[in-house]
Amino acid sequence: MSRFVFAFAVLFAVSCGQRNPLKEILPIQVQRAWTLEVTRVLPNEEVADVIRRAGLKRALFAEYRGNGRIRVRVFDMGNDASALEVLQRWPPSNGPAFYKGKYFVLGEANDVDRATLSSFLQALQRDLK
């Protein structure tokens, strides 16, 4: 019985201590004007097939607020080559995207202009940890 209790306690501690490492790569602020407000794990069902097939490890949705809202989706592809492959296959009509290391990132916004979104994404790419 005591082994069961010990095993349960260890399992509980490990599960409570797990974090989404993608949250840790996002800066809290971008360009001093945009603040990270919302993050959530994206289930695989919400990810495009081209990204899943390239070796998706995990995905995260984040929203930054400033003079409007900018939403980003960050995909951990496991390695640089997979992230680059997705970027090369990603249709530009599906929104601006970039990759940095093993991460493929998509940006979108309805209430900011294209130049602001582009500037934000360039700064995010530079600041991504």
Between these two residues, 115 and 22, which has the higher pLDDT value?
115
Predicted TM-score (pTM) of the model is 0.82
Residues 79-93: what's their mean pLDDT? 94
- Res. 41 pLDDT band, cuts 50 70 90: very high
Burial class for 19, CB neighbours closer than 10 Å (0-12, 13-18, 19+): exposed
Q: What is the 3-state secondary structure (H, E, C) of 13-68?
A: HHHHHCCCHHHHHCCCEECCCEEEEEEEECCHHHCCHHHHHCCCCEEEEEEEEECE
| Residue 129: per-residue pLDDT | 87
How much is the average pLDDT of 36-45? Answer: 95
Question: What was the pLDDT predicted at 21?
Answer: 65
The Cα 86–Cα 52 span in angstroms is 10
- Domains belonging to the chain, first-starting first, are 19-127 (3.40.1000)
CA–CA distance from 125 to each of 73, 92, 106 (Å)?
13, 17, 11
